Structure 1
Amino acid sequence: MHKTGLSTIGGLVAAIAAIVSTPVAAQQKPPIKIGLITPMTGPLGSYGKIQDIVVKLAVDDINAKGGVNGSLIQLDVGDSQTDPGQAVLLFRRYIGEGYFGAIGPMTGTQWETVSPLANQLNMPSVSINAIKPGITKRPWTIRLMPPDDTLIPEGFKAFLKAYPNVKKVVITADVREASSKAAAEDLAKVAAENGIQVLETVEFSSKSTDLSAAAIQIKSKNPDAILAAAFPAQGMLLAKEFNTQGIDVPVFSTALLWSGPFINMVGDLGKNWHVIGFSTNAEGDPGRTNDALYQSIVKRVFAKADNTIGVPPNLANWSVGYDAILLYADIMKHAGIDGTTDPKKAREMIKDAFMKLKNFDGVYKYAIRDTGDGYIPANILKADVEKKVWIFLPSTN
């Protein structure tokens, strides 16, 4: 089921049916246009591709029942190439072409650019990936993905529960990159709050292709664990260098790593890696509102996926994207919005609903904070390198 501060809708069938009209009516009205901004090429291309699949599944599910108030949802996907400038161009295009709202862009650096712009130009947008705290700007944007100010404290406590002998750590991050720098600061803070000694913060460059110097420096400190704020490409480089240097301690990574294809790409080198997450491919994970819906998403992603997003694909946190479409559809259904609604009027009504939103039940159960950021209790996933999937640690499930 899914639930907002405006409504409660029970059951998988009812959840989809309640936000739709008849297929015949939908064919008689113009579509509702929503834009997805995500990297389909470049270093995060595989992540954008799995996001594209999951978001389109939500659109398909709603449209299969007739759409929203007689209008089908038309999703257009723009390739941000993980470039803030390109994300801005796409966002402006969606505004100019009469889109009712946007989803994305993916990273904190891009969201930090688009969220203020959305407020300047009066265009709703929902973030489903960015994790840097303090960059969601109300009233025109909200973020379903929880930021690091809740993810890191809760995820780290789960990590320490699984590894109680960790007493001293090294933090490694690109402190010149905004999201990574903010995460490193949060890691230092949460370590101190839990009585963990930070031996050193070892810096690296996100543009570097050789992180051997960072690994050597980390090894020299002999930590009990490593706390990493790294994007997937740098995470893979670090995993390789840790193996080369014989570093065999648990690695706690922030959600900058995201989850998804990292475990497929890094292979056996990821055996010590952990990442903050909400769910795995398995049934009955904690924190989900609708397990039947989630399992249907997993099954269909498996059917649509190819080797560019990992074999097997790892769903983990990706259903936040599915929920963004459900949220838009629910808001528009209750506001009486359809494809004939003037885009400016539709955007105003969506913005007003954003401001009233207190909770939302989709695949995950969200509380919406005063900052406009969603909250989902964080947990810790471990890489199962043999099966190439993320799993919950037994002590944290």
Structure 2
Amino acid sequence: MKALHRLSIPLVTLVLVGVPVFWAFPDDLPVARSAGIVLGWVGCGLLLANLLLMLREVRLTEFFGSLERMYTWHHVLGTLAYLVLLVHPLAFAVDAAQHSAHQAWATLSPWRERWPIWLGWAALICLMCGLAAAFSRKLGYPVWRWLHGLLVLAVLFGFAHLILLGLSQTLLFALLLATVLMLWRVLRIDCGLAARPFLVDHVETHANGVLEISLRPLATLLNAKPGQFAMFAFFDGPHFQGCREYHPYTISAVDSDGKLRIGVKSLGGCTHQLQSLTAGVAVRVQGPFGSFLRDRGNGPELWVAGGIGITPFIAVLRGEPLGHPVRLHYFYREPADAAYVEELRTLASRQATLDLEIRVGLGDAQALANTLPDAGTLAGCRCYLCGPPGLLSSVIGILESRDVPQDAIYFERFDFR
């Protein structure tokens, strides 16, 4: 990753935190009280950066490095904002404790205060509940999304808390920026104003619970490259009930007429509903995102795919002939789960530069170790991995034990919750 992309999020965060702190830095106040004020403004800046990083815009993801990187920082900054704002009232209590313990307790007791303080505590509680939902893997997506929306209430309560404390002039720019970012997210991302309209052209079954869906554009084409993914929302059809939520799916082909193909495996929720998908269903598409398999160079490569993780590789193979040696190892759990196998064998028979290895068994670490190339073969080789988290962890461990440097191992995660 280029230095600009690596530093982009920290630098933007530093600006959003530093400007309000510099503007409102207290003079001639006790240390603890000054710390409480500074921590409050640091928390506001972190929340602004957090709001910026939830915008799923193509150019923004390219500037910040990737959508995965933005979401990772989004979680980190949200957690930091909560911790900083949690210490914020404690600093005021420490200042009050210099006078008396009773006054310190009164500072931390919301039911003894007025509306401005109540709103501050409400913001902190909403932030805590929203973060708890954000890191939960057991909640269903609709419930998770609703609880995650408490973070918006946290921002609104927080700004109301500061305005009622008489800081409206200083807050004007921050409040305007937060409002713009939240409206941007709701209108362009959640309501789909940034999405392009498509129609389902046809649906083909490739394996047990694995579909390949062909989508026809109704307006501007999606400038997608092999290996990228996009966010898709499927709506209702004559014999299909859409889930209407945006989910990431890897693009398995970009046809010359602008049609897209995506590979989808039934893993629960929306992907299970898609098993009954029919032609003619309306789809909204946001993207494309990701840089996986882009700027690959000219040297030898190792590709490792697990299950539906074969889709970015099949997209590249369908796109154009390989210009350098590639070893593709494709693993799947059961014979019924094998997708694109016959097409892969056909592609391999036509390209001398493609060495194809297909194996049943996704979770056997010893079988992985025995199947993957040795250290001598891997020397100078770039390695691209796509599949379940367990497979990725196992393969990365094997590659590192065989002296493959970390900067030669590439993978992307698609679990953005």
Pair in the same fold by TM > 0.5? no
Give the number of the structure whose residues are more often helix, by fraction.
Answer: 2
- Over alpha carbons, which structure has the higher Rg? 2
